[in-house]
Amino acid sequence: MRLLLDEMHSPAVARALHERGHDVLAVASDPQLRGMSDAELLHHAAQLDMAIVTENIGDFAHLDSQWAASDISHTGIIYTNPNRFSRSTSAYPANLIAALAHFLQHPPVEGTSWAWWLQPPP
């Protein structure tokens, strides 16, 4: 599974996961992706066969519903709770890296157009 980290998540997360052998890109580290609308970003991720990792639940849940109603599929959306993976704590980004590494090693979903709330690893 390939992941695209939305703009709010640190490129350090993508680098750490890439070092572990995972295909992860960060919007924040790509000038062409920064500032894209959420709709453009979801479309771009779908074209690249990447799931989006975001804490922007409202906008992406709305897009997910719109795409489903139009019978358009995407690769997947992983929601991160901004309280559980708070960027203002010393646990970030290590807690997000650990959770995504576990998710990638033991994917709880398959197919297309899924949405998943990321949890800390057991």
What pLDDT is attached to residue 13?
Answer: 98
Mean pLDDT (whole number) for 60-66 = 98
Q: From CA 18, how far away is CA 44, in angstroms rounded?
A: 20
List, for residues 74-93, the tens digit of each pLDDT value: 999 999 999 999 999 999 99
What pLDDT is attached to residue 122?
Answer: 87
Amino acid at position 76, single letter: G
List, for residues 12-61, the tens digit of each pLDDT value: 999 999 999 999 999 999 999 999 999 999 999 999 999 999 999 999 99
Mapping DSSP onto H, E and C, the string for 3-42 reads EEECCCCCHHHHHHHHHCCCEEEEHHHCCCCCCCCHHHHH
Domains of the chain, by residue range, sit at: 19-117
What pLDDT is attached to residue 62?
Answer: 98
What pLDDT is attached to residue 90?
Answer: 94
pLDDT beyond 90 at 108: yes
